[in-house]
Amino acid sequence: MSASSEFNNSQIEVMISAEAIQARIKELGAAIARDYTGRKPELICVLKGALVFMSDLIRAIDLELSIDFIAVSSYGKGTRSTGEVRIIKDLDEPLEGRDIILVEDILDTGLTLSYLVNSFRARGATSISIVTLLNKPERRKAEVQADYIGFTIEDKFVVGYGLDAAERYRNLPYIGVVKSTD
């Protein structure tokens, strides 16, 4: 077997290191544990991008909690969101009476999260808050406020730590930017 990896990451420029991500997640977990003392929140991971963040975040929250997963896609596959969101995989458990924490990889236009917050409200959640690893405020189209933000970044397309470019790079332990080839 060849010693060199076939997975070539040399075209990725690191924006946020693995260490910085882990340190920030400890802080977010502590803040959530403090704010939700005495409650049993349900953390809902927005697949697929938030998977990696979710798995580290729940281990940083020293509380009794439960988890669930939802997968959505925006209509019209392209990189431009139209605002229409389709649920591909719905929650397993009802939301009635639950304190929900929505876990996202990145808050960009806000269209996905504004749709989910409205839909979860209509389904009877007691409270809904948002934790996002990344926040790109420059591209916001819908009024959405995250309650917990890992890092606010400039308007660049980022990959790694769950985030993909055409399904690639999700397994990088850091957040990076694909270098332009020209």
Catalytic residue set: 108
Q: H/E element holding 45?
A: strand 42-47
Q: How many residues bind ligand IMP (CB under 6 A)?
A: 15
Interaction pattern, residues 130-159, with ligand IMP; x per rule: CB under 6 A: ---------------------------xxx
CA 167, distance to chain mean position in Å, is 15
Beta strands in 48-180 (DSSP E): 66-74, 85-89, 99-107, 127-135, 148-152, 158-159, 175-178
d(CA 30, CA 92): 27
* Both structure tokens of 91: 């929650």
* Alpha-carbon distances of 159 from 37, 107, 164, 181, rounded to whole Å: 33, 14, 5, 16
Q: Which residue's entry shows tokens 């989910």?
A: 116
The least distance separating ligand IMP from the CB of residue 103, rounded to whole angstroms, comes to 11
* Both structure tokens of 17: 């290191």
**Which residue's CB is nearer to ligand IMP, number 73 or number 126?**
73
Residue 106 binds to ligand IMP (criterion: CB under 6 A): yes
Residue 111 binds to ligand IMP (criterion: CB under 6 A): yes
Residue 176 binds to ligand IMP (criterion: CB under 6 A): no
Among 15, 41, 42, 112, binds ligand IMP (CB under 6 A): 112
The least distance separating ligand IMP from the CB of residue 114, rounded to whole angstroms, comes to 8
To the nearest 10 degrees (0 to 180), the angle between helices 51-58 and 18-35 is 60
The least distance separating ligand IMP from the CB of residue 14, rounded to whole angstroms, comes to 15
For the segment 34-63, give every residue that binds Mg ion (CB under 5 A). Answer: 49
Interaction pattern, residues 42-81, with ligand IMP; x per rule: CB under 6 A: -------x-------------------------------x
Binding site for ligand IMP (CB under 6 A): 49, 81, 104-112, 157-159, 163
